[in-house]
């Protein structure tokens, strides 16, 4: 189903992180729907959240707890988003944290709650309470693969990736998992992603790594333009590696870890698009020649969100008119159409705002038949660029979202 | 197919306007694809056009001609949009005007060209030249119904409406036709609409009527969020009625004509949505309680464009979580979710940002099963309002746009 996404690669343990996945029966019996992640004492944890004004109760509580305590546990459920649930939703999220804190003998503020699934239904807290003891017992450093499955909703494949990098003589691991397939146009982070490393990094620097990585990864994808109420991306540094703490002044170590975190985030973000609801194509949109970064992103999103462009990709139709029409309505000030060029992979299809002189329709069809395509748009008015990833729009997107209750 | 759209109502002739529709064979033989509209000498004509930066060649030429001359002829073809066609497209549009001007013995600047259909293909001018003499001979005051058919592309029904209003003892007629079903999120006007009255109005006032009417009609609909390269809306006042000229100081006459033009434009705009590609539902979105007009429109468009909301309408699923999530990402500053209420027709489904206490899912399903539904969203932060019309998102939207070459 997912475009170019093979089965989950091996996920390397991150010393200092243990995970457990159980079937709590939140929505359906027998489904892995509750994931617990434990961080070693002294681990550093940072996060970014959705900017949707209708953010879910767990987002509100997780933000509050992050500000108050040093996280030791992340509690993630699928099957229910605990969003649009008002005061009761906040109480439910808090009581889950309290219940876990009691078992594990930590402060409730040291537990961050995350939920994904149906919006607007009260969170079934009893099955969650009941499943907690089993989850606590099952915690294991090798629990990443199970956890990647346990956070899925409409995802057709589990998503995870590991990278290793040598920093100052130490082999450092970065492992991450993510979920998401629809309601994907992250405004801050994707639906849920959890990335951990055993590197030693202090909180302010870790936040900096996360924000930079998120901008180029989860904030550069779109499936349907809908921003979730529950988006969250967490980055953990356990500090379990016997290394010196990475600081901003240590250029080489800083760059190496930043690059590796970014790679992991990009791989996870791309996996979400590859598994986009109903996706049959994986599309990279590169806009170059912009007067600034923002107008490049504007143009890229206008193309990526256009239902007409997306259905043309589904049909393998090299319909460059629809691409130009989307760029034209992107709201770029004083855009001179006569300077715009468009490429499908290596093939130039538009120059000077019109069909390229040598372009033949069969060539376009051949490129569009590929499963992975890069659309490159040159605005011809500057040196700035932007890149994002999206997928096509198929019958199955409609079927999935007509049948599934978000 | 079209939601609640019966066959074309009788279209009343407008003294001073004659129309002809012929089969020129632009894309397919035997299809009515060329419409000629003649305005009596002395008629006043005003227009609004797409603001898409990739506006089509006929839009460029029509704007130029409007600035240079007093229009006597509108020449409209379907089957080819003459968009993304560069310098040659401009020449083609001009030479069509010249050719007609020669036959009719007017200046080329007195002809306005309009095109709709496939983007990016050169306009086949020879069949248009060849069909012109027949079109000129066929001009008739009763040609409105034929013309409504002649401007269709993916439309499943022809769209037209007539209204009459008594102004200062004279019965005045306003008749309009329009086309459009996809690539509909007018930024200025819909794809093509032609409205005429026999009232006597000077150009500046006529432009005022048009702009006010367009804002509440064609600029308040969306099918798929894609703005066409060819949008245009023309308003003609032939002045053939034996009335005094309507001026801004004549409050009653001014208001009566403004209201009637607005009614005609709203009926045509709604007809476009009812015939939206793949539409099975006609949705009115009303946002109230906004701090200003703009934020009400922002919220309404966010809901109207959300693929998740649109597929929920297709599935008759009262998925208020998706509606709230769309409002939440609309970019309204400091939106207090706890004040938001949502109604489906008469049914209150959300209060204080969460499910309404008395709301039962079956009630929501019953309303959502209707073919025409009003979603009313109260932002709870002011007195401003906005209203727009849209349709749902079905398998057929994907089918139509995967099969049809815009």
A32 vs B278: CA distance, rounded Å: 37
pLDDT reading at B332 higher than 60 = yes
Question: What DSSP element (H or E) covers A287?
Answer: strand A282-290
A352 φψ region: left (φ > 0), alpha (ψ -120 to 50), beta (else): left
Chain A positions touching B354 (Cβ under 8 A) are: 84-86, 89, 120
Confidence (pLDDT) at A183: 66
Using the beta-carbon criterion (under 8 Å), do B395 and A393 form an inter-chain contact?
A: no
A–B: how many Cβ contacts below 8 A? 205
- Reported confidence tier of residue B220, pLDDT bands at 50, 70, 90: confident
Confidence (pLDDT) at A273: 84
Q: Determine phi and psi for A372, rounding to 5 degrees.
A: -125, 125
Q: How much of chain A, in percent, has pLDDT values that exceed 70? A: 95
The mean pLDDT value for B257-284 works out to 87
pLDDT tens by residue, B333-371: 899 888 999 999 999 999 988 889 999 989 999 999 999
Residues B270, B160 contacting (CB under 8 angstroms): no
Residue of A87, A323, A398 best to disrupt the B interface, most CBs of B under 10 A: A398
pLDDT reading at A255 higher than 60 = yes
pLDDT tens by residue, B135-179: 999 999 999 999 999 999 878 889 999 999 999 888 999 999 988
The residues pairing with A355 across neighbouring beta strands, listed in sequence order, are A350
Using the beta-carbon criterion (under 8 Å), do B398 and A354 form an inter-chain contact?
A: no
Confidence (pLDDT) at B117: 86
Using the beta-carbon criterion (under 8 Å), do A328 and B229 form an inter-chain contact?
A: yes
Using the beta-carbon criterion (under 8 Å), do A403 and B315 form an inter-chain contact?
A: yes
Beta-strand relationship, A372-378 and A341-344? antiparallel
Round to the nearest angstrom and report the end-to-end CA distance of chain B: 20
CA distance, residue A362 to nearest chain B CA (Å): 15
Confidence (pLDDT) at B126: 97
Number of CB atoms found within 10 A of residue B32's CB: 17
pLDDT reading at B53 higher than 50 = yes
B78 is catalytic: no
Best CA proximity match to B347, nearest among B364, B362, B324:
B364
pLDDT reading at A132 higher than 70 = yes
Using the beta-carbon criterion (under 8 Å), do A226 and B119 form an inter-chain contact?
A: no
pLDDT reading at B374 higher than 90 = yes
Confidence (pLDDT) at A129: 97
Q: Determine phi and psi for A101, rounding to 5 degrees.
A: -60, -40
The mean pLDDT value for A79-83 works out to 90
B194 vs A324: CA distance, rounded Å: 26
Instruction: Tell me whether 0.90 is exceeded by the ipTM.
Output: no
CA dihedral for B173, B178, B184, B188, sign (positive or negative): negative
Question: What DSSP element (H or E) covers B226?
Answer: none
Confidence (pLDDT) at B363: 95
Confidence (pLDDT) at B190: 47
* Per-residue 3-state assignment (H helix, E strand, C coil) for B234-256: EEEECCCCCCCCECCCCHHHHHH
pLDDT reading at B96 higher than 80 = yes
DSSP state of B16: T
Q: Determine phi and psi for B296, rounding to 5 degrees.
A: -65, -45
Q: What is the CA radius of gyration of chain B?
A: 22
Residue of A nearest to B306 (CA): A226
Question: In terms of residues, how long is chain A?
Answer: 406
Confidence (pLDDT) at B189: 42
A12 vs A174: CA distance, rounded Å: 8
B384 vs B129: CA distance, rounded Å: 51
The mean pLDDT value for A199-219 works out to 84
Chain B positions touching A154 (Cβ under 8 A) are: none
The mean pLDDT value for A298-304 works out to 92
Best CA proximity match to B175, nearest among B83, B261, B84:
B261
DSSP state of B181: S
CA distance, residue B108 to nearest chain A CA (Å): 26
Using the beta-carbon criterion (under 8 Å), do B324 and A119 form an inter-chain contact?
A: yes
3-state helix, strand, coil in chain A (%, to 5): 35, 25, 40
pLDDT reading at A186 higher than 60 = no
CA dihedral for A291, A295, A297, A300, sign (positive or negative): negative
Lowest pLDDT segment from A268-272, A400-404, B43-47: A400-404
Q: Residues 6 or more apart from B246 whose CB is under 8 A from it?
A: B167, B199, B200, B201, B205, B253, B254, B257
- Provide the 3-class DSSP secondary structure of residue B368: helix
pLDDT tens by residue, B56-93: 899 999 999 999 989 999 999 999 999 888 889 999 99
Using the beta-carbon criterion (under 8 Å), do A406 and B338 form an inter-chain contact?
A: no
Catalytic residue among A21, A190, A280, A390: A190
Q: Which of B51, B53, B306 is opposite residue A226, by nearest beta carbon?
A: B306
CA angle B323, B281, A308 (to 5 degrees): 80
A73 vs A37: CA distance, rounded Å: 6
Q: What is the CA radius of gyration of chain A?
A: 22
The mean pLDDT value for B385-390 works out to 91
Beta-strand relationship, B384-391 and B282-290? antiparallel
Confidence (pLDDT) at B251: 83
Confidence (pLDDT) at A404: 63
The mean pLDDT value for B222-238 works out to 76
CA distance, residue B156 to nearest chain A CA (Å): 18
Confidence (pLDDT) at B288: 97
Q: Determine phi and psi for B286, rounding to 5 degrees.
A: -115, 125
pTM, two decimal places: 0.79
Residue found by looking up tokens 């007018």 in the block: B186
Chain B positions touching A395 (Cβ under 8 A) are: 395, 398-399
Residue of B nearest to A333 (CA): B53
CA distance, residue A235 to nearest chain B CA (Å): 24
A355 vs A314: CA distance, rounded Å: 21
Using the beta-carbon criterion (under 8 Å), do A308 and B338 form an inter-chain contact?
A: no
Chain A positions touching B406 (Cβ under 8 A) are: 308, 319, 321-322, 325
Q: Residues 6 or more apart from A206 whose CB is under 8 A from it?
A: A44, A45, A46, A235, A237
Chain A positions touching B305 (Cβ under 8 A) are: 225
A9 vs A271: CA distance, rounded Å: 12
A224 vs A277: CA distance, rounded Å: 9
Which residue did the predictor score with more confidence, A357 or B184?
Answer: A357
Catalytic residue among B190, B197, B229, B238: B190
Lowest pLDDT segment from A129-143, B171-185, B330-344: B171-185
A36 vs A113: CA distance, rounded Å: 10
Q: Which of A53, A324, A394 is opposite residue B54, by nearest beta carbon?
A: A324
Q: Which of B118, B320, B401 is opposite residue A311, by nearest beta carbon?
A: B401
The overall average pLDDT reported for chain B is 89
- Give me B243's structure tokens: 């009335």
Using the beta-carbon criterion (under 8 Å), do B229 and A325 form an inter-chain contact?
A: yes
Using the beta-carbon criterion (under 8 Å), do A308 and B183 form an inter-chain contact?
A: yes
A273 vs A220: CA distance, rounded Å: 10
Best CA proximity match to B18, nearest among B65, B83, B73, B68:
B73
Chain A positions touching B228 (Cβ under 8 A) are: 325
Residues B71, B105 contacting (CB under 8 angstroms): no
pLDDT reading at A75 higher than 70 = yes
Using the beta-carbon criterion (under 8 Å), do B183 and A226 form an inter-chain contact?
A: no
Confidence (pLDDT) at B404: 63
Q: Which of B120, B308, B335 is opposite residue A321, by nearest beta carbon?
A: B120
CA distance, residue A59 to nearest chain B CA (Å): 14
- Give me B279's structure tokens: 């539409």
């Amino acid at each position: 189903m997912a475009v170019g996404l093979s089965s989950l690669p091996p996920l390397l343990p991150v010393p200092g992180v243990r995970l457990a996945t159980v079937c709590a029966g939140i929505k359906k019996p027998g489904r892995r729907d509750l994931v617990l992640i434990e961080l070693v004492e002294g681990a550093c944890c940072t996060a970014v959240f959705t900017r949707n004004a209708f953010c879910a109760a767990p987002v509100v509580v997780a933000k509050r707890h992050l500000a108050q305590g040093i996280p030791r546990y992340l509690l993630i459920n699928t099957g229910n988003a605990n969003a649009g649930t008002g005061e009761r939703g906040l109480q439910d999220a808090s009581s889950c944290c309290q219940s876990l804190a009691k078992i594990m003998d930590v402060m409730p503020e040291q537990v961050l709650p995350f939920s994904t699934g149906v919006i607007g239904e009260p969170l079934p807290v009893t099955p969650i309470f009941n499943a907690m003891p089993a989850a606590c017992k099952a915690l294991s450093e090798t629990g990443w693969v199970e956890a990647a499955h346990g956070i899925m909703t409409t995802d057709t494949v589990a998503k995870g990736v590991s990278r290793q990098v040598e920093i100052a003589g130490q082999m450092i691991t970065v492992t991450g998992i993510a979920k998401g397939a629809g309601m994907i146009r992250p405004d801050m982070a994707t639906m849920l992603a959890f990335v951990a490393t055993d590197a030693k990094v202090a909180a302010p620097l870790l936040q900096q790594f996360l924000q930079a990585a998120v901008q180029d990864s989860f904030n550069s994808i779109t499936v349907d333009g809908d921003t979730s109420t529950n988006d969250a991306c967490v980055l953990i540094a356990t500090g379990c590696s016997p290394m010196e703490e990475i600081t901003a002044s240590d250029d080489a170590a800083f760059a190496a870890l930043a690059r590796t975190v970014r790679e992991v985030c990009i791989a996870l973000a791309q996996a979400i698009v590859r598994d986009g609801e109903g996706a049959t194509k994986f599309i990279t949109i590169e806009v170059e020649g912009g007067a600034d970064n923002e107008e490049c992103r504007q143009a890229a999103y206008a193309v990526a969100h256009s239902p007409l462009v997306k259905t043309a990709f589904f049909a393998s139709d090299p319909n460059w008119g629809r691409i130009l029409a989307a760029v034209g309505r992107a709201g770029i000030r004083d855009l001179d159409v006569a300077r715009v060029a468009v490429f499908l992979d290596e093939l130039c299809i538009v120059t000077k705002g019109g069909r390229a002189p040598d372009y033949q329709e069969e060539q376009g069809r051949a490129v569009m038949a590929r499963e992975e395509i890069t659309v490159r748009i040159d605005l011809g008015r500057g040196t700035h660029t932007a890149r994002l990833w999206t997928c096509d729009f198929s019958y199955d997107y409609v079927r999935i979202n007509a049948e599934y209750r978000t």
